[in-house]
Amino acid sequence: MTATFALDWFRELLWTAVLVGGPPVLAGLAVGLLMAVLQAATQVNDSSVSFAPKALATVTSLAVAGAWMLERVAEFASSAIGAMAHTGLGP
């Protein structure tokens, strides 16, 4: 196993993590920003007011993109296990 091979797999791992983690994080971020603006405009500063919409947005994004996320992780895992078998790494 060469250094470039390991770096390529690490880069692919990070890219997969960003793609899979992106939808829930971005949904929570967008709703959190919107709720912060609404709270600033109405001067209602209660943490439960912003938590429920952020949680709902995150769960909704997981429900919508969950199948795609699982498929992406399964593709990466299959590729990584195949590469381990090909290079002789692992038990």
Domain limits, the chain = 49-86
Answer yes or no: are the C-beta atoms of 53 and 91 closer than 8 Å.
Answer: no
Work out the angle at residue 33's Cα, subtended by the Cα atoms of residues 27 and 37, and round it to the nearest 5 degrees.
145
Q: Can you give the pTM of this predicted structure?
A: 0.75
pLDDT in tens, the chain (91 residues): 678 888 888 999 999 999 999 999 999 999 999 999 998 898 888 888 889 999 999 999 999 999 999 999 999 999 988 888 777 665 5
22 Cβ contact partners less than 8 Å away, ≥ 6 residues apart: none
